[in-house]
Amino acid sequence: MRLMHIADVHLGCRPDVGFAWSGEREEELWSTFSALVRECVRQQADLLLIAGDLFDGCPSLRELERADRILGSAESIEVVIVAGSADFLREESAYADYEWSPNVHFLKSDEPESIYLETLDTTVHGVSYYSAIRRDRVLEDLVPDDEGEIQILIAYGGDQDHCPFDLKRLQRAEFDYVALGGRHSCRLLAPGNIGYPGSPEPLSPAETGKHGYIFGEIGREKSRFTFVPFSLREYVNLTVRVDAATRFKDLKNKVRQAVASCGLEHLYSITVDGSFPPGKPFELDELRDVGRVCAIEDKTVPAYDMDKLLDIHRDDVVGMYMEEFLRKPSTERAQQALYCGLNALLQEEEQDDDTGA
Amino acid sequence: MTILELELAHFGKFHHKKIKFSRGLNVIYGKNEAGKSTIHAFIRCMLLGMNPEIDGTRNRYYEKYYPWDTSEAGYGGMMRMAVSGHIYRVERSFLKTASFMKLVDETADEDWEGQEAENSLRDLLEGLNETAFDNTVSIAQLKSTTEPGLLTELEKFVSNTSQTKNVRVDMSRARERLEQQADDLRREFAEGAEADLAETEANLKRVSEEKNRLQDREYRMRREQDSLEEQVAFTTRSSEEALLAYDRERDAMRRQYEAARNNWENLPDPESRKKGHFTLFFLLLALMCFAGAWYLYYRTGLQEQLYLYTAAGLATGGIFCLAGMGFAIAAARRTKKRYQAEDALREKLRFQLKESADRFEQFKSQTPVSPEDATREMKSRLTELEEELTQCGKDLEKSRKAYEELSRSVNEIRGQVLKNEGIARELDSVELAMQTLSTVAMRVQETFGSRLCKEAAQILEKLTEGRYDRIQIRKQEISIGTEERMHELKAMSCGTVEQVYFSIRVAAAALLWQKSPLPFLFDDVFSRYDDERLAAAMDLLKDCGHQVIVFSSNTREDEMVDA
């Protein structure tokens, strides 16, 4: 039996609010979801598991119909969904009452329930959320039953605010697969059949790395579960080094090249490290047009030749100032203060009052 | 640095006045108003330049020393000096309209003009500026010999000179720059961003919940709407059917009634009933026949056949009449029966008709509810719902927009909070830099202060011929003395106080200009000294290693020099 496991899709979310590509990103979450379902069909999977947070909040009727259209179109696939912490169910809402297409099974109860899928001889146990936080350890008490040959558990949770569980107990329960949701990056837990697929599209600059789904094959003898990257874009952290001799043009080219080789479609957080000629820091904002740049961090420091300065200013205030810092342990705060003071002390003297031609 | 020669071309009261100096001790003697301060000022202006205006206020020097004799145009002069083995010549014109400066290295045969010249001169003088000049080179008479006054002056002096130690690096300037930086940072800092963020996030949550509530409400209303519409359709249909059935039944009833009426009306009219008189008629007839027959019998006895036959006939006739009467009676009875039956039927029909009529009436009053009436309430509720839905839709739209805007705000403010954190860190560093700078400044002062006291003490020792060899400057008091005993300065005589001041000033100059000693210009400093002290001072100055130019209104110094 082949299955695809996704979670934390957050349809309706608008990542990178305030940036030009934000609206595009919102639509991409939907198009990737649609592509995932198509991929599911293409891979001839029998079962699609959506382990919570399919939506970014309580979905409107329109969003429900759109999602249902996508899922319902893949008639050959059985879909099992549970609600998670972000899209918890509310009584008497369109979400709670919605009637999905016949191949879509939403386990709506907040008590554990199960569904037996006859064509696959599989029982899926699951539980949904009715509030953002639930701390009961309901997942630890679930065990496979006698009905299906294949026994699967689907749920959102794993940390102290969301159905915490002891991993060993879950392993002991001996489900054929435990499909979890609640982490935005993929994680497969030992012994290999318990996993979080992570969001299929990354949602914030902190979520770097690959994103996609977990594909599983459950066979008579053995089973295998692998992570498959699938996202349209990734968040990438880029670090570029400069020195006092680097001109801004060169820096920009360097960044451009790095972005081009990695892929223009990705979303970048750029860190510039190194040094600049004292008094002439780089205007890093102008790097924003090399691509989709979410953030720029400036870690450059002024290129003071400390030894030379100490030598020249051995007897005077500058020397004494530097000594103050060299005497104490170096922290980032102290470093910055040292540079700050040096900058203030060594700046070109302006004309003094009465002297003048 | 040694001043070799001055030429005051046009300066104050002097025109083309030349003065030569020697490398050691020089005394310029002149009574008051002779022009000593003019020459002093000239030296200052040649070294440092003269800006006719500072910030819109006229430089006091410019006005004061403007040439008296304006017959020749010009305001300035020349100074020749020796610095580090080279001989330099400074030429200046101070005229506002034609200011000019030229520096000539006579030894290396180089010259500079304008700003370049100023810069070169400043380099030569190791960055000497006005403050340094007034505090070290130029030593004026002690303004006050009281301790507080002296303390103030000394404090100011120490603080100023310690800061000009390496004048190329101006700490006060540096501190100003740091303060400016700190101010800029504080201005960039968005006050209350964190509070804003908390508030906006709370608002966002609220709006999100409201949005969800509105969504749910809309959904429920839609559901009610759908269900009501179904009900309306169903009720309309069933009501119409009921109406149809009713109509049909009413028709049937009417037909029934009409049939009954027909029957009733078809009954023969009792009025048209004939009265049966036949019985009586036949009876009479029969009686007449019998009477006739009897008469005949009575009168004739029926002898004749005629009479017999007639009597018989009459009798027969009478019998026929009786029979006829019998028939008539029977017929009358039958008819009566018939009439009775008819009456009964009539009664029955009448009853039936009445019943039928009653039922009809009753039926008529039970018309079923029309579809309009049946669905009126539901339809009005539907209209209500429609209105409510439209309103809900509008509210939902508003809520959605508010949510979007708030989302954007939250993001913006988050960005600002992050920026704030960065600014706070920077500010922290700047403040640490300022703190450290202050610490360094204090240390410089202290160091300088203590060194100063040591140097000054040495000079004081020479001056007082060993009487005092220690000077201590504490916060609010100065004391001098020896290792065994210290005395507060306020207990000392004026003369001693002057000596202490002298020692400190000379020591300061010596300390600051160690590399290339600058000349001392003593401006009428010794007039209050007694002869002994004066001699000691002169001796010291002769051997101090600096060029000394003493301006005096007294001939004593002059005499001492020669001695």
pLDDT confidence of residue B154: 64
Residue that has been written with the tokens 């939902």 in this structure? B396
pLDDT band at B56 (very low <50, low <70, confident <90, very high): low
Single residue among B321, B339, B371 that ends a domain in this structure: B371
Residue that has been written with the tokens 């100074």 in this structure? B79
pLDDT band at A8 (very low <50, low <70, confident <90, very high): very high
Query: Are A240 and A221 members of one domain?
Result: no
Residue B507 lies in a domain: no
Residue A252 lies in a domain: yes
Overall average pLDDT of the A35-60 stretch:
94
Pick from B49, B168, B174: which is nearest to A356 by CB? B49
Look up the domain containing B347 and give its range: 198-371
What is the spatial distance between Cα A105 and Cα B76, in angstroms, rounded to a whole number? Answer: 103
Interface check A354 vs B, CB under 8 A: yes
Query: Are B104 and B218 members of one domain?
Result: no
Between B543 and A83, the more confident residue is A83
Q: B75 by DSSP, 3-state: which?
A: coil
Token pair belonging to A82 = 């549970």
What is the spatial distance between Cα B173 and Cα B154, in angstroms, rounded to a whole number? Answer: 23
Query: Are A7 and A73 members of one domain?
Result: yes
Query: Are B218 and B93 members of one domain?
Result: no
Alpha carbon of B500: minimum distance to chain A alpha carbons (Å)? 27
B233-259 pLDDT, tens per residue? 999 999 899 889 988 988 888 888 888
pLDDT band at A355 (very low <50, low <70, confident <90, very high): very low
Give me the DSSP letters along A154-172. Answer: EEE--BTTB----HHHHHH
Q: Is the peptide bond before B52 cis (omega within 30 degrees of 0)?
A: no
Q: State which residue of chain A sits closest to B445, comparing Cα positions.
A: A317
Give A-chain residues touching B169 at CB under 8 angstroms. Answer: 313, 316-318, 345-346
CATH for B542: 3.40.50.300
B338-366 pLDDT, tens per residue? 888 888 888 888 888 888 888 888 888 88
Integer CA distances (angstroms), B416 to A14, A214, B202, B406, in order: 20, 38, 17, 15
Query: Are A299 and A331 members of one domain?
Result: yes
Interface check A316 vs B, CB under 8 A: yes
Tell me whether strands A150-156 and A122-126 are parallel, antiparallel or unpaired. Answer: parallel
Between B31 and B471, the more confident residue is B471
pLDDT confidence of residue B476: 64
Residue that has been written with the tokens 């880029």 in this structure? A238
Task: State which amino acid sits at residue B37.
Answer: S
What is the spatial distance between Cα A233 and Cα A307, in angstroms, rounded to a whole number? Answer: 46
Query: Are A132 and A107 members of one domain?
Result: yes
Which burial class, exposed, middle or buried, applies to A280 when counting CB atoms under 10 A from its CB (0-12, 13-18, 19+)? exposed
What is the spatial distance between Cα B489 and Cα B456, in angstroms, rounded to a whole number? Answer: 14
pLDDT confidence of residue B125: 82
Contacting A residues, span 73-92, partner chain B, CB-CB under 8 Å: 90, 92
Tell me which residue of B9, B10, B12, B43 sits closest to B26, measured CA to CA: B43
Query: Are A98 and A151 members of one domain?
Result: yes
Domain count, chain B: 2
Residue that has been written with the tokens 């916060």 in this structure? B475
Overall average pLDDT of the A314-321 stretch:
78
Give A-chain residues touching B132 at CB under 8 angstroms. Answer: none
Tell me which H or E stretch contains B20. Answer: strand B14-20
Token pair belonging to A29 = 């979450």
pLDDT band at A74 (very low <50, low <70, confident <90, very high): very high
Task: State which amino acid sits at residue B204.
Answer: L
Query: Are A127 and A18 members of one domain?
Result: yes
Contacts of A41 (CB under 8 A, 6+ apart): A74, A76, A77
Q: A192 by DSSP, 3-state: which?
A: coil
Single residue among B348, B371, B394 that ends a domain in this structure: B371
B250-298 pLDDT, tens per residue? 888 888 888 888 888 887 777 777 766 777 888 888 888 888 888 888 8
Contacting B residues, span 410-439, partner chain A, CB-CB under 8 Å: 410-412, 415, 425-426, 428-430, 432-433, 436-437, 439
Token pair belonging to B251 = 């028709």
Interface check A326 vs B, CB under 8 A: no
Q: What is the ipTM of this complex?
A: 0.78
A218-247 pLDDT, tens per residue? 988 889 999 999 999 999 999 999 888 888
Q: State which residue of chain A sits closest to B179, comparing Cα positions.
A: A344
Tell me which residue of B285, B313, B282 sits closest to B297, measured CA to CA: B313
Contacts of A324 (CB under 8 A, 6+ apart): B436, B439, B440
Domain count, chain A: 2
Residue B241 lies in a domain: yes
Overall average pLDDT of the B64-73 stretch:
79
Query: Are B119 and B237 members of one domain?
Result: no
What is the spatial distance between Cα B67 and Cα B38, in angstroms, rounded to a whole number? Answer: 11
pLDDT confidence of residue A353: 37
- Asked if the Cβ–Cβ distance from B169 to A338 is below 8 Å, we say no
Alpha carbon of B64: minimum distance to chain A alpha carbons (Å)? 16
Give B-chain residues touching A350 at CB under 8 angstroms. Answer: 173
Single residue among B337, B356, B371 that ends a domain in this structure: B371
Query: Are A206 and A322 members of one domain?
Result: no
pLDDT confidence of residue B158: 61
Handedness of CA A181, A187, A188, A190 (dihedral sign): negative
Percent of chain A at pLDDT > 90 equals: 56
Give A-chain residues touching B430 at CB under 8 angstroms. Answer: 337, 340
Of A149-158, A231-240, B115-124, B522-531, the range with the lowest mean pLDDT is B522-531
Query: Are A291 and A271 members of one domain?
Result: yes
Mean pLDDT rounded to a whole number for chain B: 82
pLDDT confidence of residue A191: 81
Of A14-28, A340-354, B14-28, B54-68, the range with the lowest mean pLDDT is A340-354
pLDDT confidence of residue A92: 81
Single residue among A195, A229, A263 that ends a domain in this structure: A229
Residues β-bridged to residue B14:
B11
Query: Are B212 and B354 members of one domain?
Result: yes
pLDDT confidence of residue B160: 59
Residues β-bridged to residue B81:
B3, B88
Residue A357 lies in a domain: no
Contacting B residues, span 389-408, partner chain A, CB-CB under 8 Å: 407-408
pLDDT band at B333 (very low <50, low <70, confident <90, very high): confident
Residue B179 lies in a domain: no
Residue that has been written with the tokens 């020796």 in this structure? B82
pLDDT confidence of residue A114: 92
Q: State which residue of chain A sits closest to B114, comparing Cα positions.
A: A357
Interface check B141 vs A, CB under 8 A: no
Beta strands in B21-96 (DSSP E): 25-29, 53-54, 57-58, 76-83, 86-93
pLDDT confidence of residue B167: 40
Query: Are A181 and A320 members of one domain?
Result: no
pLDDT band at A72 (very low <50, low <70, confident <90, very high): very high
Contact in structure between A10 and A56 (CB atoms under 8 Å): yes
Does residue B75 register a pLDDT over 80? yes
What is the spatial distance between Cα A241 and Cα A252, in angstroms, rounded to a whole number? Answer: 11
Single residue among A229, A248, A263 that ends a domain in this structure: A229
B483-507 pLDDT, tens per residue? 888 888 778 887 788 888 888 888 8
What is the spatial distance between Cα B405 and Cα B211, in angstroms, rounded to a whole number? Answer: 13
- Cα(first)–Cα(last) distance of chain A, in Å? 93
Q: Which of B124-133, B158-167, B310-319 has the highest mean pLDDT?
A: B310-319
Query: Are B120 and B207 members of one domain?
Result: no
Integer CA distances (angstroms), B25 to B192, B498, B519, B520, B556, in order: 68, 20, 10, 9, 14
Contact in structure between B112 and B502 (CB atoms under 8 Å): no
Phi, psi for residue B486 in degrees, rounded to 5: -115, 145
pLDDT confidence of residue B52: 61
Overall average pLDDT of the A201-214 stretch:
93
A248-300 pLDDT, tens per residue? 888 899 999 999 999 999 999 999 998 888 878 888 888 888 889 998 998 88
Residue that has been written with the tokens 């005096």 in this structure? B552
Does residue B146 register a pLDDT over 60? no
Contacts of B30 (CB under 8 A, 6+ apart): B36, B551, B553
Q: A113 by DSSP, 3-state: which?
A: strand
pLDDT confidence of residue A33: 96
pLDDT band at B375 (very low <50, low <70, confident <90, very high): confident
Token pair belonging to B563 = 């001695």
Look up the domain containing A184 and give its range: 2-229
Query: Are A103 and A209 members of one domain?
Result: yes
Residue A37 lies in a domain: yes
Alpha carbon of B477: minimum distance to chain A alpha carbons (Å)? 27
Overall average pLDDT of the A188-216 stretch:
92
What is the spatial distance between Cα A284 and Cα A272, in angstroms, rounded to a whole number? Answer: 8
Single residue among A229, A254, A280 that ends a domain in this structure: A229
Size of interface A-B (CB pairs under 8 A): 133
The DSSP 8-state label assigned to residue A142 in this structure reads -
Query: Are B251 and B341 members of one domain?
Result: yes
Contact in structure between B313 and B305 (CB atoms under 8 Å): no
Alpha carbon of B547: minimum distance to chain A alpha carbons (Å)? 24
Mutate which of A22, A203, A340 to disrupt the B interface (most B C-beta within 10 Å)? Answer: A340
pLDDT band at B81 (very low <50, low <70, confident <90, very high): very high
pLDDT confidence of residue B562: 61
Q: State which residue of chain A sits closest to B51, comparing Cα positions.
A: A354
Alpha carbon of A16: minimum distance to chain B alpha carbons (Å)? 9
Query: Are A178 and A318 members of one domain?
Result: no
pLDDT band at A203 (very low <50, low <70, confident <90, very high): very high
Residues β-bridged to residue A157:
none
Residue A55 lies in a domain: yes
pLDDT confidence of residue B168: 41
Residues of A90-128 as b/e, b for ≥16 C-beta within 10 angstroms? beebbbbbbeeeebbbbbbebebebbebeebebbbbbbb
Query: Are A208 and A279 members of one domain?
Result: no
Tell me which residue of A278, A221, A275 sits closest to A251, measured CA to CA: A275
Mean pLDDT rounded to a whole number for chain A: 89
A99-144 pLDDT, tens per residue? 999 999 999 999 999 999 999 999 999 999 999 999 999 998 888 9
Mutate which of B175, B217, B219, B423 to disrupt the A interface (most A C-beta within 10 Å)? Answer: B219
